[in-house]
Structure 1
């Protein structure tokens, strides 16, 4: 691996407490010859001093804008609106390749500055399988919050917690519950099933076979549904407004883990805005009641567990950064997205 300078940025979203690189893995990167600069961040689950102790440099929050040109900026969630020109390579979840709101302006910023988005959602192996994801914990928390809401035990605003504390809340809630997990065999689906198991619920499990010819009447017979399906191609929606207004609906609590709102590939086009930690639940229908949970950074509610797992998966990829493998595919996907929006005419950029 050529000399690599990683710049771990502070997350501007106040509810984002995760980190893509934990201190123990930062030590392994430094020992491998990587220069790692860590921005100070009061909300990050690990204190800045923990990174300093393993050999990382420390910088002020937001100083990535003036980082050396060859630094690779690493984060998780959205960038601030400035600067208008992005000159670095950025590793994070950009949510810009499926015509989501704000996608075109973001990609224009990269092209204007000569930088590149290496979207972690598209870091895949030779078979197209994702190499890093927070899916398990997103599913776990989505199902947990849905159960607590359904049983009248969800407290707002939400706050970060530990798995032990969350599991105690789940086992302390009571009541029979008919639940459905769609995408049950994937990472998020496995997490959702695990949380439901802690709550004493054995869910119905649907995956590809059941969604090819989806039985909406059977779906609506469940009291609680957790959607963990994220698709990159148009498929028939799982629910429509007409379904929610039907007279036979038993569905009362809906959690959309994927939060693909605004995308033409959204499988649940029955809402137009996500919920958040302050107001985690939105009432979609009054008679009979139907509540929605759609929080797009669920794993940050378990920041320690989520960060440790994610960092362990990302570390080997960072140790092999560059080349024509997974990172090369990330870069190709960036250029493809730009071309699809008519923003690029064959520019090249090497990782």
Structure 2
């Protein structure tokens, strides 16, 4: 398991207690040191893992090894020879996707994209969705109250919930959650509930029969839907110029730059240092929060929930499984499509 090169990435794909389970099943596991990971290297060593210097996977690991991580790979090596398990964000037409896929094609390596670990019905079997939704909605509430400060600092659910307590509320607010019945949507609704806000919950029927007036009639809009096929956008820039009420949008999905983006009202993701972007000024300001590693703000809880689902799947890598086979096929199709596009 590699160190995450992004400084604000504090999560771990595998937590020490689940690493111990893999080791007991005969899996050899080496964990790189990482100064920002919420679980120290000592905890993995105590579980029986080997410990390696950060960034050493590129030179020390045989090409047959799996390299486990979460977010983007460093720029070097240019040619990727290993079998990498991470969130590649490479199959929705994202601007950086071709470059990443070409690195794998050049080195003969493989991307097993955690975003595309799917069951036979096309549903994701492992995700950080709940915590992404929870944190995204929580930040939107704090921004609406004028209480969100930068840079963001990681904490815990307890600390975040205490900041959302209804007793701290400044005026009443209304909210709508798109995709309220999925993992991410449930997290968003729970955070809003902690703030004393009962949101309007949108499911599939609501997005099919899109009523933009409903979206524009609430103070806070939280989008949690991840699309895998083209559909009409929920809002466009033109919609923001007319009558509207929203003061804050939290785009938890954060598909900015993708052809499948359902909120094409902004052109770049935010980060912990600058978490909020202003979409509209004047007497009715509108802000957006779109950060692609929201769960890292509650790294311990998010990591434990994710790892509990992932470790049995990692164990199945030895025998092979339909879940991993589908993941591999998605990668091969994406690489082949590169050639078709020139």
TM-score w.r.t. the length of structure 1 is 0.94
Corresponding residue of 1:276: 271
CA RMSD of aligned residues (A): 1.1
1:339 aligns with 2:336: yes
TM-aligned CA deviation for residue 324 of structure 1: 4.3
Q: 1:161 aligns with which of 152, 155, 160?
A: 155
In 2: Cα distance, 1:157 partner to 1:259 partner: 19
Unaligned runs of 5+ in 2: none
1:47 aligns with 2:40: yes
Corresponding residue of 2:322: 325
1:58 aligns with 2:55: no
Corresponding residue of 1:313: 309
Q: 1:242 aligns with which of 219, 238, 246?
A: 238
Partner-residue secondary structure (3-state), 2:268:
coil
> Which moves more between the two structures, 320-329 or 264-273?
320-329
Unaligned runs of 5+ in 1: 1-7, 345-351
Deviations 1:49-102 (A, max 9, x none): 000011101111011102122210000000011111100000000011111011
TM-aligned CA deviation for residue 313 of structure 1: 0.3
Q: 2:280 aligns with which of 268, 285, 289?
A: 285
Q: 2:256 aligns with which of 237, 258, 261?
A: 261
Q: 1:16 aligns with which of 9, 17, 42?
A: 9
Corresponding residue of 1:219: 215
Runs of 4+ in 1 over 6 A off after TM superposition: none
Corresponding residue of 1:85: 79
Partner-residue secondary structure (3-state), 1:38:
strand
TM-aligned CA deviation for residue 340 of structure 1: 1.8
In 2: Cα distance, 1:162 partner to 1:131 partner: 24
Partner-residue secondary structure (3-state), 1:118:
strand
1:152 aligns with 2:146: yes
Corresponding residue of 1:38: 31
In 2: Cα distance, 1:44 partner to 1:252 partner: 34
